[in-house]
Amino acid sequence: METLERTDTSGEPDDPIVEAGQPVTRDAQWYLKVVVAVAIAVGMLYWAAVEEKIRSTLITVVITVAASAGLWIAANFLFDQVRNRWATFNAIAFGLLGAVLGVLLHGNKLTLGSGSGFFTWVIGPLVGAVVLGGLGYVMTRTQDPNQRLTIATGTGLAAGIVIAVTIREQFQPGLDVVAIVVYTAILAAVGAGLSILLKHSPVGGAMIGAAIGWILGAWGGADLGDGSLVESLVATVVPAVLLGARFGMTTDPDYTERVNIDTRSRAVIFVGPAILFIFVMLVVPAIRTGYLSLLDRDSEEFVDGENYGSVFTDRNSLDVDNWTDMFTSVPFLIGVVLLGLAVVVGAAMKKRTGRAVEIGNPTVGPLVVGLLLVSFGAFTAMRGTLINNLWWVVVVTFFSTALGLAIAVLADGRRGERVAKSIIFMPMAISLVGASIIWRFVYLARDTSTEQTGVMNALWVGLGRLSTGSGLPTLIVTVLLAICVVLALIFLSNALVKREYGRAVVPAILTVSLGWFFVRFVGIIGDGVGGFKIDDDGTVSGQTIFFVQEVPYANFWLMVIMIWIQTGFSMVILSSAIKAVPTELIEAAKIDGATESQAFWRVILPQIATTIGVIVTTLIVGVMKVFDIVKVTTNGQFGTQVLANNMFDEAFNRVNIGKGAALAMLIFFSVLPVMIFNIRKMQQEG
Amino acid sequence: MSITAPLVNDASPGGQPGDEPSGIIDRVYGFLRGIPTGILWFIVVIWSIPTLGLFVNSFRNRDGQRGSGWWNVSPSELTFDNYDQIFGARSGLLRSLLNSAAIAIPATIIPIAIAAFAAYGFAWIDFKGRKGLFIATVSLLAIPLQVALIPLLQMFVGGAKYTVPLLDKTITIVPDFDLAGTTTAVWLTHTGFAMPFAIFLLHNYISSLPKDLFEAARIDGANHFTIFWRLVLPLSIPVLAAFAIFQFLWTWNDYLIANTMIGANASQQPTTILIANLAGDFGRNEHVLPAAGFVQAFVPLVVFFALQRYFVRGILAGSVKG
Amino acid sequence: MTKRWLKLAAVPIALAFVAAACGSDDESGGGDTTPASEAPAATDAPDDGGDAGGGGDFDGATVTITGPERDDPSIASLNDVLGEFGEANNINIEYTGDADWEANINTQVQGGNPPNISYFPQPGKLADFARAGNLKPVTDQVNETLDEFWLDGFQLYGNVDGTQYGVPAKTDLKSLVWYQPAAFAAAGYEVPTTFAEFTALIDTMAAADGPKPLCVGIESGQATGWTYTDWVEEMVLRLHGPEVYDGWVDNSIPFDDERIQEAMQAPVDLWTEDNVFAAAGSIAATSFADNGQPLVDGQCYMHRQANFFAGLFPEGTTFADPADDSAVDVFYFPDINGDKPVLTAGIFAAAFDEDPATMAVMNYIATAEYAEKRQAAQTEAVGGGLSGYLSAAIGQDPSVYQPLEQSFLSILESAEIARFDGSDLMPADVGAGTFWSEGTSLVNGDIDVSEAASRIQASWPG
């Protein structure tokens, strides 16, 4: 199926609209899907009819979505008029403004005549719409500055008087002169300042600011109902005239300006809704959190930076007393050896190609793995929440990206691609409750006198039994292992003889690791491998690993869960990126004599570099915020605490709001540089 | 592991046509070339083992699950009891599945629409402060969502009010729509939280569409709305599908937000909360969780399979910048 | 063209919706969203007196209740009992058992969306909410009901600074050791009556080549370590008496005090590899719920755990049945100084508002009728046997309890020194935080007792 579609489109890359717009072929499958979709829809509707609660939910959703979509599309159509039908646009835009004003006044029952439905929702807004819409239309037909000023100010005056007269008696404001003066002055200054910042004349801004200030001061500062008609007039007419005059001072925009207006308003239409959501849902809470992080646990008194300070002084969040332990840790030592190897290979490569490190050359392998192991060793030597978070970021980000990429590449275009990808993706579909249960079945340990029900311990104890045993299975495994080691050696020597060092990397790693395993398995060094222990009297018994209880390695076993889940994420995105790489580029490289793997390193990888950047960034951010895996498995015990879980604990369980907020801000600040670096880099490229 | 061997043999001959093996060394290399496929299926098998264990255990009773490893399962002990129990009359699983849908569907569609507008705006509409605003927007991805939960809950419970300084008048910024404890509150929250990532992902893609495409359309007199609707949306289907899948999964499987927003309102609970409560005090009923986990995972898997076909090579051939 | 104008028409309609929503908000005047606020005024509340089950009419007011209990039998019995009461009084009572109650109740209160009533297993948390003004004191009528059905000692932990907020809804007895009488008899062991006999018995059992003396496992998901804190509480009570215990609970005697450290070390000393069977190989990895199976299977002799552990034995286990060799029984966890202290725990209901319907439900929970009916319903829900529920309310029909459960009740009633679970009384930072986690680290051998004690003490708020 995929190959079919591939040939479909590869021919005509220059006409994507037509391609994408073409209807899907309507085969049996398509009809089946339609039937299923209709069945689901009918089922939902039936349910909605039966269950009152579902119905109300459904109605809410439909109304919200339809209203928002209508609003958005309508806005777009409205601004379509800007360039060529300026008068129409103005009439409608101002008309709408007037209608809104009418709705606001009438809807809130501020004015006479409101309250009865027809007048409230139809006549009031209609009057507003006609008055302001008329103004907008007339202004586009008037070019003389003096006339414009007169018309606009006059309309403002008239509108102000009409509103003041129709305000109900119980809302007439008893004016507070101080409030009016203060607000008018402040907002006029703000308006003028903004205008100067935007390189306009300050007068216009000051007038708008003063009008808003006057409204706020006159209506907000007043005791409603204490006033008279005169006060109402003062409160209304002044800002209305100010606004009208400000509008009258403008000149009718020419075509270029209209294009500008179009662009700017389009920006608002397109970006606005997202910004609105982000502002309400994220910015406001974030600011509030930042503020709370400076207060004490009950948000009553300022404690300066104490909440932040305590994170760094607490032994539970940072404990580097035994950092020297890393020099004796096995991963660290292996990592150092690999880094040494990388230096040697790098020197050789520099001689041959002029570049020591290059994507795809043999230096990269040992370098990356070496760095990974060294950091791993360092992390095992230190303790604390902050260390754990760093450890998580390094390990999970690396493995999820690498494995996701590997699977996306390996599966691309191969038979069974869908099956393979679906299985890798499966963990993403399983909720965390499910995942925690799944991994309990994996990590579980039982008393060694009983059967192991956890996969890993069953394997581990079984391996120990095999390694220390002497029966037929042990013999067979030994022979198989020996054959593998010899095979790996043959490939290694073959590659070395042919001087194809790039091809020697994998066999070399295989030889060393398999060889080491073989040596340990048959007991040349040590007593064997696996979960066993030998008592003083020589009896051999099983020995389990407490995966999630053993400090500090429990961290790693929790990371494995995250890798298991997240690899599906990187795979899906990388896979779609790889499929977006034009086939012609790869074909061209192959015609130039590139091998499959060279084509990957030289053509595909550079093409998807941006996507990898996206994945890495997303993963770093996601991992810094890791919370649920830790919560459902250990809840931070056994040295597995991480920042986000600690934060949840402090804020939600212990109700130490200040500390929780400080931890949240810490997560935010530590991810921020990564985000900004990444975005800047992307924008430079783009 | 024995499964991998035949698959390797199966795949390797088809892999490299035109490269006929001759001689022992070449034949060995022919085998070596099959290794990548072998590795793939090896990883796949490893990946599926935990889930397989869950699947098998979902058909075993409590004693079976506790007493022996799932790989020791005997056909005679398989039972549908766990499934019976979670679909049982009192558990309300069907209603909770519907609640989950009422959360996940709007929480998927709405953010995609809004984020696609914004991504297009940031990528192709030239306005002042575009870069700064974009960076600010996407940086908010770094905020742990837990910080926003309580303020949002307060907003859903009582609306948002602001008291103007000096005047002592309270303005209602967001009226109280009585959303506390409803699925609407949950998907609204999801929509907000999804925004930075959605914009990040979609912008990355939409901004890499070729410039000439837009210029050509511009010359034809198309405005932003037309370009967005006729050009950008169809071209972005793969990335929209990718995001839709993830967003659907996250919202379907979300526990924290639903738990906070719905709270004690049992009639609006999605499956995640219901299942967590099914486990019982001290995990006494944990044996039903494997079955529940599968019921829960079924819907997202269907969504994945339905949308997977959109990730096909060619839809945007030549459209990624090189 | 016409199509466009049609679409434009959508704008004012949408705006009208928004405005309508704003407008209607003004009319309702302030966002009081408590569903029960439309309930009839207080004067309409029927006066049930002692017999709270009698019919009143609350006009279908809704009372939401949350709590940590979410077991099938618990939920079934609660729904039965509350549903019956609700029906009789025209109150719509909804109980939600919440897997994440500890965190959720905080969120709901801070977010301004608490349930009407919540069941609190931790009096410490109840007191926090009461002092912050979130909880409402019970009405005089409920107080009268409480005095009628509950001894002062049980009311005490629902009382904050002299005001009664909580109503006891469930009582747990913790100082129990589960064992199989037949296994004891077969090996010739006697039930120990003093702590010295208890440790001597452990030594004897460990020396013999049979089952291990104790089953211990402290893993409990997110609450891992609470079983250890129970042991520490028992040891503080037994080693140093109730005054030290009370001082320790309010932190006037700190955790790093030598006496407390002694009590913290005592269980660790007892839990040697020779003495303990841990089903998962290590104490910290073994789920506390997994201690019933090995006891029945004969892999260990004894397990110290509260009365509700009855529900965690394998299905089909019989209790205190002399005819059955596999039957399980309990003995009192022996004391050291002969003062027979008892460690208890329990659940309290507390209300977040004062609506008549809410208080009527609170009043009902305080009665013996509630306890009796819940016990009967729960026994039925578990299919006979021990229900796992227990209530010390006075005036219940004893026949709803099995003989073994009646003996729990008599231990509770006759106890001279009874103390509530200390970790539930401490601030959550400690009692549901570091005491669990550092305790687990201590048991796991990651840190020593002085380190654990100083870390816990450092986390005490204020």
Q: Given an 8 Å threshold on Cβ–Cβ distance, is B313 in contact with A5? A: yes
Let me know: does B268 contact A53? Beta carbons within 8 Å. Answer: yes
**Per-residue confidence band for C29, with pLDDT thresholds at 50, 70 and 90:** very low
Domains in chain C with CATH codes: 16-173+343-420 (3.40.190.10), 176-342+426-458 (3.40.190.10)
Q: Residue B90 above 70 pLDDT?
A: no
Q: Read off the pLDDT band of B169 (50, 70, 90).
A: low
Among chain B residues, the shortest Cα distance to A77 is held by B225
How do residues C111-169 score in pLDDT, each as one tens digit? 888 999 999 999 989 998 999 899 999 999 999 999 999 988 888 899 999 999 999 99
Q: Which chains touch B (3 or more CB pairs under 8 A)?
A: A, C
A357-384: pLDDT as tens digits: 777 677 787 888 889 899 988 888 888 8
Q: Which residues pair with A532 in a beta bridge?
A: A542
Asked whether the beta carbons of C182 and C326 are under 8 A apart, the reply is yes
pLDDT of residue C21: 39
Q: In chain C, pLDDT over 70 holds for what percent of residues?
A: 88
The two tokens of residue A117 are: 């439905």
Q: Which of A10, A16, A579 sits opposite B319 (nearest CB)?
A: A16
User: Contact A73/C128, CB-based, under 8 Å?
Assistant: no
CA dist A683 → A555, C12, C159 (Å): 36, 40, 62
Whether the pLDDT of residue A666 is over 70: the answer is: yes
Provide the pLDDT for residue A54: 65
User: Which of B118, B207, B272 is nearest residue A433 as measured by Cβ atoms?
Assistant: B272
* B117 chain-A contacts, CB cut-off 8 A: 72, 269-271, 273-274
User: A417 and A428 in contact (C-beta within 8 Å)?
Assistant: no
CA dist B137 and B309 (Å) reads 31
Report the residue of A19, A61, A676 to disrupt the B interface, i.e. the one with the largest count of B CBs within 10 Å.
A61
Q: Which of A70, A107, A109 sits opposite C14 (nearest CB)?
A: A70
Mean pLDDT of chain A: 81
Owner of token pair 């109700």: A655
Q: How confident is residue A447, by pLDDT bands cut at 50, 70 and 90?
A: confident
Stretch among A572-576, C53-57, C84-88 having the lowest mean pLDDT:
C53-57
Q: Of A250, A221, A75, A4, whose CA–CA distance to A147 is shortest?
A: A250
pLDDT in tens, C168-219: 999 999 999 999 999 999 999 999 999 999 999 999 999 998 899 999 999 8
Alpha-carbon distances, residue A627 vs A386, A443, A562, A664 (angstroms) = 14, 19, 10, 12
Q: How far apart are CA C124 and CA C105, in angstroms?
A: 13
- pTM of the predicted structure, to 2 decimals: 0.84
Residue for token pair 């007339």: A138
Judge if the upstream peptide bond of residue A552 is cis by omega within 30 degrees of 0.
Answer: yes
- CB C259, CB C239: distance < 8 Å: yes
- Report the C-alpha gap between C111 and B152 in whole angstroms: 8
Is the CB of A579 less than 8 angstroms away from the CB of B69? no
Say if CB B222 and CB B295 are below 8 A apart: no
Residue B23: which pLDDT band, with cuts at 50, 70 and 90? low
Q: What is the DSSP letter of C285?
A: G
What tokens were used for A155?
Answer: 């309309």
Indicate left, alpha or beta for C247 from its phi (over 0: left) and psi (-120 to 50: alpha): alpha
Q: Are strands C166-173 and C341-351 parallel, antiparallel or unpaired?
A: antiparallel
CB of C99 less than 8 A from some CB of A = no
Residue B292 is predicted with a pLDDT of: 86
pLDDT at C46 over 50: no
Enumerate the domain spans of chain B: 20-87, 90-315
Distance from CA of C205 to the nearest CA of A (A): 18
Residue, of A94 and C440, whose pLDDT is higher: C440
User: Is the distance from CB of A295 to CB of A658 less than 8 angstroms?
Assistant: yes
In a mutagenesis test of the A interface, which of C8, C13, C25, C295 is the best target, namely the one with the most A β-carbons within 10 Å? C8
A179 pLDDT tier (thresholds 50, 70, 90): confident
Asked whether residue C48 carries a pLDDT value surpassing 60, the answer given is: no
Q: Which residue of A has its CA nearest to C108?
A: A652
**Interchain proximity C107–B266, CB inside 8 Å:** no
Please work out, in degrees rounded to the nearest 5, the angle formed at the alpha carbon of residue C184 by the alpha carbons of C182 and C185: 65
C287 in reach of chain A (CB within 8 A): no
What single letter denotes the amino acid at residue C395?
Answer: G
Closest of C342, C334, C436, C354 to residue C63, by C-alpha: C354
Mutate one of B72, B137, B147 to test the A interface: name it (highest A CB count within 10 A): B147
Q: What is the pLDDT of residues B104-147, one digit of tens each?
A: 888 898 899 899 989 998 888 888 888 888 888 888 888 888 77
Q: Selecting from 3.40.50.970, 1.10.645.10, 1.10.3720.10, 3.30.70.360, what CATH number does the domain B90-315 have? A: 1.10.3720.10
Spatial neighbors of A536 by CB under 8 A, at least 6 apart, are none
Q: What is the DSSP letter of A220?
A: I
Q: Smallest CA–CA separation between A594 and chain C, in Å?
A: 54
- CA C419/CA C345 separation, integer angstroms: 8
Mark residue B181 as left, alpha or beta (left: phi above 0; alpha: psi -120 to 50; beta: remaining): left
